[in-house]
Structure 1
Amino acid sequence: MTSAEARTEVPRHLFFELENLAVQGREIMFEALKDTLETKGVELTVERYVRHGLYPLPEFAIPEILKAAGEKADHTKRLEEQVRAQVRERIEGAELNPELVNVLDAAAELDVQPVTLSAFPPDVAGSWMQKLGLEERGVRLFAFEEVRPDFPQVKTWLTIVREEGIPARACMALTTSSRACKAALTTDMTAVAAPDRFTVFQDFSGARFVLENLSDMKPRELLESTLPARTF
């Protein structure tokens, strides 16, 4: 059997973060935290948020922000619930990122399967998927009942790859933080970084591209320059 005959066609996948790419999730989280903590007399600046609040869920961010402000970090459940409610409402009312729409259109043309992941529970993330029109675009969702403060970590990406039944090297991860980027790279995926104003100064070493905006590259060019051939 020749090497060409031994090759098998493998479906290619595009992974992206639901909260941080489909919408401006960190901006929404920042505003929700800022508004809620202000009622307790705690000012949340951008600098304090970047240093102490860049976590996937409010229950991880609030204690760290309070401690940094010299406040007690116990009995924060009500604050966490208020922030969660605000984040949920604001994302439900948000518009789908038009730059991501262009990438998803190109993925459909190239027969690349889009998959998104969320730190929020399946019922919440599923509602966002529906309201943002991602379900009708054929985007698959991986949401988790429990996540760690360092979500998404290597285990997160590996879980998705295994459940999809594909090799990691057939996947491209569109990430917005160094944590997500480095975890994806560790699994042998190719990563592209599209940081926001809160993560733009992070280290994205190893990423194939670091884009100020997704529109900095033509969507089809981005995918074709990043994803492998169909066969291995």
Structure 2
Amino acid sequence: MARPRRAVLFELENLAVDGHGLVYDAVKSVFKGKGIDLPPALFSRCCLGRAPQSYVPAILKHAGKERLSHEKLEEDLRVTIQEAFAADSLRLNPSLAALLQAVAAQGVGCGALSGLENSLAEKLFARLGLKALGVALHVGAADRRGFPTAEAWGKLSQGLAVDPVYCLALCTTAQSTRAALAAHMHAIAIPHALSAFEDYSGADEVLDSLQALRPEQLLARLEPGW
């Protein structure tokens, strides 16, 4: 099989399923058990795309409960988030499935990027049937800048053997969009309700939902000379 010259890349847990919503519900429930309210705006500002150890101190300080054990909270958050993504009820977003099938039929490579732990990402990837759709997976954990990083996007394109300038990343946060642009990719931003307030300057386009992106529209953007 000839290697693809172009590729469509996406965030596994945030586009294939409603990962931002899953994480918010999980994080909110853990903090609620400690008597801490976590409104959406606070979650978006402190937690979005970040690992628990990077936001627990800020949330506890905001709530005036800095004496609570950070380590215990971080472990509770990690376990609760893992359980949310391990649920058998999760199904592949049908709009994403249609896009992937359409572009793959035209010889365009497809890749998923995940910030979950390796085993969890692989299980979610398998459960959603993405391997059968010809999608490649790269797992790149969040660092102090959050998830994903430019390096992670770059490694995904490298795994597909496609030059980053011929890759189009579908992004759900400003961090993801900036990272894709820094990796010399094109980016279409599809913000979640929890990330809609962010600045998406530099994105090729900002859409209200994945349903607004038609397969033929995406293929047109991947034409030579685009």
What's the TM-score once normalised by structure 2's chain length?
A: 0.89
Q: Following TM superposition, by how much is the alpha carbon of 1:132 offset from its aligned partner in structure 2, in angstroms?
A: 1.3
2:177 equivalent to 1:178: no
Rounded Cα–Cα distance in structure 1 between residues aligned with 2:151 and 2:130: 24
Q: Which residue of 2 aligns with 1:6?
A: none
Determine which of 114, 118, 122 is the counterpart of 1:122.
118
Q: Which residue of 2 aligns with 1:13?
A: 7
Query: Match of 1:136, SS?
Result: helix
Q: Structure 2 vs 1, CA of residues 162 and 74 (structure 1 numbering), >3 Å: closer, same or farther?
A: farther
For each residue in 1:172-203, what CA deviation from the matched residue of structure 2 results, as whole angstroms up to 9, or x when unmatched? 00000111111211222110010000111111
Rounded Cα–Cα distance in structure 2 between residues aligned with 1:35 and 1:109: 42
Q: Following TM superposition, by how much is the alpha carbon of 1:73 offset from its aligned partner in structure 2, in angstroms?
A: 6.8
Q: Which residue of 2 aligns with 1:91?
A: 85
Q: Tell me, yes or no, if the aligned pair for 1:55 and 1:149 is still in contact at 8 Å.
A: no
Query: Match of 2:132, SS?
Result: coil
Considering only CA atoms, is the larger Rg found in Structure 1 or Structure 2?
1
Q: Following TM superposition, by how much is the alpha carbon of 1:62 offset from its aligned partner in structure 2, in angstroms?
A: 2.3
For each residue in 1:92-136, what CA deviation from the matched residue of structure 2 results, as whole angstroms up to 9, or x when unmatched? 321211221111121222221111111112211001011111122
For each residue in 1:57-110, what CA deviation from the matched residue of structure 2 results, as whole angstroms up to 9, or x when unmatched? 223232222222222176323222222222222223212112211111212222
Q: Tell me, yes or no, if the aligned pair for 1:63 and 1:74 is still in contact at 8 Å.
A: no
Percent identical across equivalent pairs?
A: 32
Q: Structure 2 vs 1, CA of residues 174 and 207 (structure 1 numbering), >3 Å: closer, same or farther?
A: same
The amino acid that maps onto 1:179 is Q
Q: Structure 2 vs 1, CA of residues 55 and 63 (structure 1 numbering), >3 Å: closer, same or farther?
A: farther
The amino acid that maps onto 1:23 is V
Rounded Cα–Cα distance in structure 1 between residues aligned with 2:36 and 2:52: 15
Q: Structure 2 vs 1, CA of residues 142 and 116 (structure 1 numbering), >3 Å: closer, same or farther?
A: same
The amino acid that maps onto 1:128 is L
Determine which of 124, 134, 148 is the counterpart of 1:138.
134
2:173 equivalent to 1:149: no
Unaligned runs of 5+ in 2: none
Q: Which residue of 1 aligns with 2:98?
A: 102
For each residue in 1:113-163, what CA deviation from the matched residue of structure 2 results, as whole angstroms up to 9, or x when unmatched? 11111111221100101111112212111113x530322122222233334
Q: Which residue of 2 aligns with 1:37?
A: 31
Query: Match of 2:195, SS?
Result: coil
Q: Structure 2 vs 1, CA of residues 14 and 74 (structure 1 numbering), >3 Å: closer, same or farther?
A: farther
Residue correspondences, number: 221
Q: Following TM superposition, by how much is the alpha carbon of 1:10 offset from its aligned partner in structure 2, in angstroms?
A: 5.5
Unaligned runs of 5+ in 1: 1-8
The amino acid that maps onto 2:26 is A
Q: Structure 2 vs 1, CA of residues 14 and 100 (structure 1 numbering), >3 Å: closer, same or farther?
A: same
Alignment of 1:209-224 (within 5 A): 209-221=205-217, 223-224=218-219
Structure 1 runs of 4+ aligned residues shifted over 3 Å read none
